Amino acid sequence: MTNPLAPDWLTVPRDLNDLDTKIWPTNISRNKYGEAQISGVAVSEMTAQFGTPLYVIDEDDFRVRAKRIKNALEAAAESIGTKAKVYYAGKAFLCTEVANWVSELGLNLDVASGGELAAALAGGVAPENIGVHGNNKSLAEIGRAVGAGVGAIVIDSEIELERIASAAQAQGKVQAVRIRVNAGVHASTHEYLATAREDQKFGIARQDVAALVARIRSDAHLEFLGIHSHIGSQIFEADGFVEAARRLIEVHSQLLSAGPVPELNLGGGFGINYTSADNAPNIETIAFKIAEGVKLACEERQIEVPVLAFEPGRAMIGQSGITLYTVGTIKDVAVTDGSAPAVRKYVSVDGGMSDNMRPSLYAADYQTRLVSRTSDQDAALVRVVGKHCESGDIVVRADYLPSDVANNDIIAVAATGAYCYSLSNNYNFLTRPPVVAVRDGQARLIVRGETEADLFVRDVRFQELQKNLPKNGKE
């Protein structure tokens, strides 16, 4: 029965034990004991070895998904007579293992800081396949990127143009650059908002782009690749991309009058399914709609279609990842201040906003399922909460679990592959969970979990005290 505290979009699942691959990783299923498994590795095997909370990545799911997106964007570009350069946006989830997968798949990698650049290089990504973003790159980050020979740096302000030019000059190099343009388009899920200039920190106003490009072209140490825009995230419709492309192509065609503009980068932002209410379009559909929009805008301006670049992150890895938690305390909270009295079951888990910031950061919704066993009990409306000292420490704002969910059960949260590990933190001195990649019946640790000792590595007094401790009880 529907609980009046449930949000409108949430319906009681027909089968509480179902792990719908519309949301969950492709290789998840239930074994004969009713326990969930990924690529043949049971949840209990993973939690016995690695504990909880645990980030689990279905490696084949990632590989298939990322390749499909790459192929779709390339095919869409080809259908309008051009090529596509596809970057994986490392901010979604990055470690050297993932960087290595990305190179194996023939993808480029987009990084947003010196640290991400270091991870990309250590993961074996060829520097020429790396794009560097950021609205406030330090001199050191710019110097390092130029020194490494990255394929592109995206200029976000006038001052950066000067910094990149002087770093390239000092190192006797020619650095390829893009300019991030504020297209005045912001899109999220189903809607987009078009303004003259979006009120945010990223990008250069369209009317200022030509002057900056003239400076790039006159600098022997810079090479102009083209303009860039990223209009938002978790986007389900092509319209926002098409509008941004239309606006960018207007600028692009003006720039063509004074020199070549080989590429046009339309950023990332393709949406995924987090809950049963989401119906993300398939990537082929949205890619072809964007390509059609680009073609039309180029025809209107009578210009050649440039090489297109894209930077999806979430769409490549979001649904490949899940998080496993152990259920701790449970409270049935009678909520009597609403129109109808109702009970919400608060299920506390051993992680929270330190391993998944998205619900507290922007009220993101997730789906949860009991995965250590099945249950035939009725559905109870639950709120899965963490163990942090914040009432906003919510992992799953609203979903249904079997009413017999109990202490020590393992529950999983779907689609945590993107922006969970990468946004993780140590609030309340919680240690960050490990990450395992599962493939061919094997769960492989790719990032170890933090230990309590890790929490004190940077604590100067603690380290001093450790150094001065008598050894073996003797001085």
Ligand X SMILES: Cc1ncc(COP(=O)(O)O)c(C=O)c1O
Residues involved in catalysis:
389
Tell how far CA 379 is from the center of its chain: 31
For ligand X, the closer CB: 92 or 385: 92
Distance CA 126, CA 122 (A): 10
Which 385-424 residues touch ligand X, going by CB under 6 A? 418
For residue 270, the one-letter residue type is: F
The answer to whether residue 203 forms part of the interface with ligand X (CB under 6 A) is no
Q: Which stretch binds ligand X (CB under 6 A): 23-31, 89-97, 193-201, 409-417?
A: 89-97
Burial group, residue 40, by CB count within 10 angstroms (0-12, 13-18, 19+): middle
Distance CA 233, CA 187 (A): 7
Q: Which stretch binds ligand X (CB under 6 A): 24-32, 135-143, 308-316, 404-412?
A: 308-316
Q: Where are the beta strands (DSSP E) in 286-359?
A: 307-310, 321-335, 342-349
Exactly one of 82, 175, 233, 354 binds ligand X (CB under 6 A); that residue is 233
For ligand X, the closer CB: 123 or 269: 269
| Local structure of residue 235 (DSSP, 8 states) | B
The answer to whether residue 92 forms part of the interface with ligand X (CB under 6 A) is yes
The answer to whether residue 120 forms part of the interface with ligand X (CB under 6 A) is no
Burial group, residue 303, by CB count within 10 angstroms (0-12, 13-18, 19+): middle
Q: Which of 365, 351, 359, 361 is nearest to 426 (CA)?
A: 351
Q: Which stretch binds ligand X (CB under 6 A): 67-75, 211-219, 312-320, 364-372?
A: 312-320
For ligand X, the closer CB: 202 or 288: 202
Distance CA 131, CA 77 (A): 20
Q: How far is the CB of 92 from ligand X (least distance, A)?
A: 5
From residue 331, give the alpha-carbon distance in Å to each of 334, 348, 382, 384, 417. 9, 8, 10, 11, 29
The answer to whether residue 383 forms part of the interface with ligand X (CB under 6 A) is no
The answer to whether residue 313 forms part of the interface with ligand X (CB under 6 A) is yes
Which 257-276 residues touch ligand X, going by CB under 6 A? 267-270
The answer to whether residue 119 forms part of the interface with ligand X (CB under 6 A) is no
For ligand X, the closer CB: 314 or 369: 314
For ligand X, the closer CB: 247 or 344: 247
Q: Where are the beta strands (DSSP E) in 127-214?
A: 130-132, 152-155, 175-182, 185-188, 191-194, 204-205
The answer to whether residue 42 forms part of the interface with ligand X (CB under 6 A) is no
Distance CA 351, CA 327 (A): 10
Exactly one of 144, 221, 314, 344 binds ligand X (CB under 6 A); that residue is 314
Q: Which stretch binds ligand X (CB under 6 A): 28-36, 50-58, 88-96, 344-352?
A: 88-96
Exactly one of 312, 359, 417, 433 binds ligand X (CB under 6 A); that residue is 312
Q: How far is the CB of 105 from ligand X (least distance, A)?
A: 16
Exactly one of 230, 247, 345, 373 binds ligand X (CB under 6 A); that residue is 230
Residue 56: phi and psi, rounded to 5, are: -120, 130
Say how many residues touch ligand X, by CB under 6 A. Answer: 17
Q: How far is the CB of 362 from ligand X (least distance, A)?
A: 12
From residue 102, give the alpha-carbon distance in Å to each of 59, 95, 230. 11, 11, 21
What token pair was written down for 335?
């909520």
The answer to whether residue 226 forms part of the interface with ligand X (CB under 6 A) is no
Exactly one of 70, 133, 247, 432 binds ligand X (CB under 6 A); that residue is 133
Q: How far is the CB of 136 from ligand X (least distance, A)?
A: 13
For residue 319, the one-letter residue type is: Q
From residue 387, give the alpha-carbon distance in Å to each of 83, 221, 258, 330. 48, 52, 59, 12
The answer to whether residue 74 forms part of the interface with ligand X (CB under 6 A) is no
Distance CA 394, CA 276 (A): 19
Exactly one of 80, 89, 177, 249 binds ligand X (CB under 6 A); that residue is 89
> 3-state class of 376 per DSSP?
coil
Q: How far is the CB of 55 from ligand X (least distance, A)?
A: 17
Q: How far is the CB of 89 from ligand X (least distance, A)?
A: 3
Q: How far is the CB of 416 from ligand X (least distance, A)?
A: 13
What token pair was written down for 301?
């301006």
Build a one-symbol-per-residue string for 417-446: x at contacts with ligand X by CB under 6 A, - elsewhere: -x----------------------------
Q: Which residues bind ligand X (CB under 6 A)?
A: 89, 91-92, 110, 133, 230, 233, 267-270, 311-315, 418
